[in-house]
Amino acid sequence: MIAGALWYGPLFGKKWMQIIYFDESDQEALAKMKKSAGPLYGIQFTLTLFQVLVLAHLIADTQLVGGVERALWIWAAFIIPTLAGAIMWTNKSKDIKWAQFLIQGGYQLLMFAIYGTLLQYWV
């Protein structure tokens, strides 16, 4: 989280604000963003812990695991937290964020299930 604060702060913060169409002079929007940041930090922290836990499991796993199971764990631990982080920190409405998350996350779930199934029987 320290790396993220530096990355989206002094290093690339101004450019990021331009990308997400955030006007720094809009005090009302700034107050709203600050108010919603606390819960988002909690979600981001929890998702990051989940990523590290699954990565540790995948690295330590010496048993053969089916391709579908492995693909679904990778989707859950790496695709979903990355996607959630990319979407929840935008300046879009909650409804739009959820719709984008569900559509993109659902598509990635379908793709990883297909990849895992094909690889399970191909390799």
* Per-residue pLDDT tens over the stretch 21-42: 777 777 887 788 778 788 888 9
Domain range for 30 is: 2-122
DSSP state of 123: -
Rg (CA), the chain: 18
Q: Count how many residues are written for the chain.
A: 123
- The answer for residues whose C-beta is within 8 angstroms of residue 85's C-beta and 6 or more apart is 44, 47
Q: What confidence category does residue 81 fall into, taking pLDDT thresholds of 50, 70 and 90?
A: very high
CB 113 within 8 A of CB 72: yes
DSSP state of 25: T
Question: pTM of the entire structure?
Answer: 0.64
How many domains does the structure of the chain reveal?
A: 1
Cα 90 versus chain centre, distance: 12
